[in-house]
Amino acid sequence: MDRRSFLQSTAFTAFAATATTPWRYLSAAELNDAEVPATLSAMRGTGEHVTISSGELKDLAKALRGRLLLPQSEGYEKARHIQNPAIDKHPAMIVQVTGVVDIQTAVAFAREHHLLVAVKCGGHSFSGQSTCDGGMMIDLSGIPGVRVDPAAKTAWVSGGTLLGLIDREAMAHELVTTMGTVSHTGVGGLVTGGGVGRLSRRFGMAIDNLLSVDMVTPDGKAVHASATENADLFWAVRGGGGNFGIVTAFEFQLHHMQREALGGPILFGPEKSADVIKMFAEYSVNAPVELDLSLGYRREGTTIVVCYTGDMKDADKALAPIRKLGPTSDKVAATTYVDIQRSGDMKATSADPRMTMGQYMKARFIERITPDLAKAVADAVAKRNLTVNFAGGCGMRGVKATDTAFTHRYARHNMLCGTGWKLSEDGAGPMKNVRDFWNEMEPYLGGGGFYFNDAPTDAIMDNSNYRENYPRLVQLKNKYDPGNLFRLNANILPTVKG
């Protein structure tokens, strides 16, 4: 199925019409005079202030099928928030779009006024790049949609879709593609940053399964990009983040996989930690590709979290090297892949403490967990109340660093250390705890880069992370976004004046 058929299909239209998005049928008339100030002070991308008149705001609202929210508008307060409660920013305006034309309209307005632009779908940016102070937030969450073609084993996914919907719609046909590990993450940020997940070792990263995209570029044009059309742009969006525009639709390759899976944690006491991390360092990269493992290391002990998607008759053999170490608890059980994918989700209730906690994290890709690194982690964790995690790497050993904009193909593991704190408390101490730990780890990390999708604010602007791909990315930034309209990302600075 081609992209035009997807967008025109009755299935996609029916889904869009029944989506429970509060602004789907709101008209411009609902931007009443009480919401519109005589002038609105906004922020340009350069940090300068710009004044926007009430007439300009009303004209923008009339041009939209979706809704324009201003700070006085009902719904603004809820819409401005993202997943990390420690990020508390106030956009001058929020455009809740209902389709590609709305995105083009918003981009044109932002470009005309040189506004700071943030793009939000799931709002999972740890560094807060999906919101802004004083600029325009373009909210894609009103345009979810998935259309699976079982015969072709492909799926078209709208740019406002959360990962869980992709998993569910594909698995209805016993098909999958690699997505992230939290189902309420937005597809746009996850995929354009690379897309590591539980199936990376088996099927490659999300970008390795991306066949094409539709997107709105900074000049407001709607374009298609694939290996044969706008190929340079297609290369760039596979790991270059949001630097080159807003992806409005993704086409993915799907793979056959049964619904049944094994998942759950295996826990070990602190006396086993050294043996567990040694086993994990070796087995997690040599295990059957159907077995995804992650490790959590605390001074109270270690936890290995299992996701097995292979033939169930081979499951015991696959798990034997872990179980022979003598866990204190083994909660691996039969379930479904979709349930595993949403097992770590935050619940949108006050009962989930993560909804009211600030979050901070450091991460680094590493080629291998060396004995020296394992010892350094053990020594550092013993004196701190924190958790260190090792997740799977970037899969697809045959993919070269320059095949896509995502360069970290050497990585066997993603090492993470995070912390949280009550918003009523000062987060400086917990964040310092993580930074101090990380400084102690630096000599053992091997000079690897980091996953932009996990990056905190103090790392997101490190362009050396693009490594050998950076010069080509700068050339493409100069071509597509010389004015750096899309700068709230792992930003690639243009070297020409836009």
Pairwise CA distance, residues 176 & 90, whole Å: 37
Q: What is the tally of helices (H) and strands (E) in the chain?
A: 15, 21
| φ, ψ dihedrals at 493, nearest 5° | -80, 125
Measure the CA–CA gap between 266 and 276, rounded to whole angstroms.
11
From residue 349, how far is each of 6, 81, 91, 132, 346 by CA, in Å? 35, 15, 24, 25, 8
Alpha-carbon distance of 192 to 210, in angstroms, equals 10
Model confidence band, residue 403 (pLDDT cutoffs 50, 70, 90): very high
Q: What pLDDT shows up at residue 464?
A: 83
291-298 and 329-330 as β-strands: parallel, antiparallel, unpaired? unpaired
From 76-85, 206-215, 355-364, the region with the lowest mean pLDDT? 355-364
Q: What is the mean pLDDT of residues 371-394?
A: 90
User: What is the spatial distance between Cα 385 and Cα 250, in angstroms, rounded to a whole number?
Assistant: 41
Q: Output the pLDDT for position 398.
A: 83
- Residues paired with 175 in a beta bridge: 256
Q: What sign does the dihedral 339-343-349-351 (CA atoms) show?
A: positive
Q: Which pLDDT does position 107 carry in this prediction?
A: 99
pLDDT per residue as tens digits for the range 199-239: 999 999 999 999 999 999 999 999 999 999 999 999 999 99
Residue 99: CB atoms within 10 A of its CB come to 18
200 or 463: which leads in pLDDT: 200
Q: Provide the percentage of residues in the chain whose pLDDT is more than 70.
A: 89
> Average pLDDT of 458-481?
88
Tokens 């000599």 sit on residue: 443
Confidence of residue 395 (pLDDT cuts 50, 70, 90): low
Identity of the amino acid at 389: N
278: part of which helix (H) or strand (E)? helix 273-286
Structure tokens at 233: 């742009």
Decide if 361 contacts 173 (C-beta within 8 A): no
Closest-CA residue to 170 (of 282, 264, 251): 251
pLDDT reported for residue 15: 40
Side-chain-facing half-sphere of 345: CA atoms under 13 Å: 17
**Is residue 301 within 8 Å of residue 270, measured between CB atoms?**
yes
Q: Could you tell me if 42 and 284 are in contact, meaning their C-beta atoms sit under 8 angstroms apart?
A: no
In 3D space, the residue among 168, 169, 216 whose CA is nearest the CA of residue 188 turns out to be 216
- Residue 1 predicted with pLDDT over 70: no
Identify which has the larger pLDDT, 158 or 395.
158
For 259-338, strand residue ranges (E) read 260-268, 291-298, 301-308, 329-330, 333-336
Residue whose structure tokens are 């000079």: 447
In this predicted structure, what is the pLDDT of residue 31? 66
Q: Which domains does the chain have, with CATH numbers?
A: 12-139 (3.30.43.10), 146-257+469-480 (3.30.465.10)
pLDDT above 70: residue 16: no
CA distance 323 to 346: 29
Band (pLDDT 50/70/90 cuts) for residue 396 is low
Check whether 246 has a pLDDT greater than 60. Answer: yes
More confident residue, 429 or 448: 429
Lowest-pLDDT choice from 151-160, 311-320, 444-453: 444-453
Helix/strand/coil (H/E/C) assignment for every residue in 109-152: HHHHHCECEEEECCCCCCCCCCCCCCCEEEECCCCCCEEEECCC
Model pTM?
0.91
pLDDT tens per residue, range 283-316: 999 999 999 999 999 999 999 999 999 999 999 9
pLDDT in tens, 26-51: 444 456 777 889 999 999 999 999 99
Q: What integer best gives the mean pLDDT of the chain? A: 90
**Residue 353: band (very low, low, confident or very high) from pLDDT cuts 50, 70, 90:** low
The pLDDT, as a whole number, for residue 89 is 96
